[in-house]
Amino acid sequence: MDELIDVRSICSLEGKSAVVTGGAMGIGFGIAKRFAEAGAAVLVADIDESAAKAAAVRLSDAGRRIEALAVDMGDNSAPERIVTRCIESFGGLDVLVNNAGIFPKVPALEMQPELFDRVMRINLRGLVFLSRAAGLRMIEQRRGGKIINIGSIDSLRPSMIGLAAYDASKGGVLMFTRSFALEMAAHGVQVNAILPGGITTEGTSRPLEGSGMTKEQTDELMANFVKKIPLGRMGVPDDIAKVALFLASSGSDYMTGSHVVVDGGALLT
């Protein structure tokens, strides 16, 4: 008879060190919280220094090892700063979650090159080169690793007019995930993506940057979006965080180059 396995150990991150970019709030904070609960030491990297420090304090309440780092993913120095800080604080790097991103809403016909470049620099270029820096460290450590990229259902299909730059960046995230997974498989590093649908966060509760919309118009837009979701509600950060925990754990050891859609069924409609 096969030996029984404690299923709780499958999603344990005890002894692991993780980085979550954009980890001060929203989806990123939800992921950092689940990782900490699973036993990981977590570096919360975020452009908002005060929010990152506040998140670290909240997550450290139970004696967990949490560090905060203020960093702009658009800076060329960000990847090395993040990896170096994680190693200095925790002695290694086992899990990377590329969550940081921006989503200004501007129709392509009105879009300026500066906006397009900013979206690409943060959403895609920063993700690529942080993955590279983390991947090199994971190879050096010789114990494998997990890289989780946060894409979007817009990686597969545009959800509305005005997100051309965002959609292009998230489509790139999905293809980079597949390509890097192929490259890193020989080193025991798995690279997967989560594609969230509509998630209620601090960011989505505000008018979309560059859209010219009021809060009331944004609320109406979101209400119409909910009507198209078969499960009848917007997601919450923990809906994504629980999937991220699975992908960071041994439960996903035979997955790489995959994407997991978490959208309440929105792509079915």
| Angle 231-157-171 from CA coordinates, rounded to 5° | 120
Q: What does the chain come to in residues? A: 269
What does the pLDDT read at residue 20? Answer: 98
Catalytic residue at 254?
no
> For residue 209, what is the DSSP state?
T
What's the N-to-C CA distance of the chain in angstroms? 46
What does the pLDDT read at residue 70? Answer: 98
| Residues 6+ positions from 170 with CB-CB distance below 8 Å | 123, 151, 152, 154, 155
Instruction: Return d(Cα 125, Cα 116) in angstroms, integer.
Output: 12
Query: In which residue are the tokens 């029984």 written?
Result: 4
Q: Kindly calculate the radius of gyration of the chain based on its CA atoms and give it in whole angstroms.
A: 18
What does the pLDDT read at residue 264? Answer: 97
Tell me the C-alpha to C-alpha distance, in Å, between residue 234 and each of 28, 50, 56, 103, 152.
17, 28, 26, 17, 14
**What is the pTM (predicted TM-score) of this model?**
0.93
Neighbour count for residue 63 (Cβ, 10 Å): 6
| Burial group, residue 216, by CB count within 10 angstroms (0-12, 13-18, 19+) | exposed
| Cα torsion through 160, 163, 167, 169, rounded to 10 | -170
What does the pLDDT read at residue 218? Answer: 74
What does the pLDDT read at residue 192? Answer: 99
What does the pLDDT read at residue 2? Answer: 62
- All domains in the chain, ordered by first residue: 14-203+236-261 (3.40.50.720)
* Helical packing angle, 164-184 and 126-141, nearest 10°: 20
Could you tell me which residues are beta bridge partners of residue 47?
A: none
| Active-site residue identified among 35, 90, 103, 166 | 166
Question: Low-confidence residues of the chain, pLDDT below 50?
Answer: 1
